[in-house]
Homo-oligomer: A and B are copies of this chain.
Amino acid sequence: MQKNESGLKVQLSEKGIRLTRQRRLLLDLIEEASDHLHASDLVKFALERGEKIDRATVYRTLGLLKDQGLIEELDLLHLDGPEHHYEAITRKSHIHIGCTKCGKIMEFETDLVANIEDEISCETGFLIRSTRVEVSALCPDCQGKEREKA
């Protein structure tokens, strides 16, 4: 373990999991990303910064990070295709709203998700790990275009 490692890397290391060049690379890419990445994005972005990584390693690492609770797997309603998207789990959880017409994804923060989680815990006894909320909608721009047609 090297000095001054960034957040997710420390977390992984503290769980007794080896930090390899490839894992550092992927964690960097995921932490720096503003978007929701999928596996082939990661291969591509790695190449762009001159580092090579195999698809298989990407998938294996994403699985590992998901199991360890460091990243979250999203489908984003498959508006963009069948791949899975991943994002770092941050303090403030947020939900995703996708426009079914233009495919745009918007993030939205709300405390109400925590309320749902509380209600579930109390009433069912389930111990919640994470909650994924994905909303399928029509964005304001696309609503305008729909009205023009009519």
Contacts and interface: CB of A to CB of B under 8 A. Distances in A.
Interface residues of A, number: 38
Given A112-B115, A112-B119, A127 B132 contact: no
A128 interface: yes
B128 A135 contact: yes
Contacts of A128: 135-137
Given A78-B73, A135-B131, A97 B126 contact: yes
Interface string A101-135: 00000101010110111011001111111111111
A40 interface: no
Interface of A: 73, 75, 77-78, 84, 95, 97, 99-100, 106, 108, 110, 112-113, 115-117, 119-120, 123-140, 143
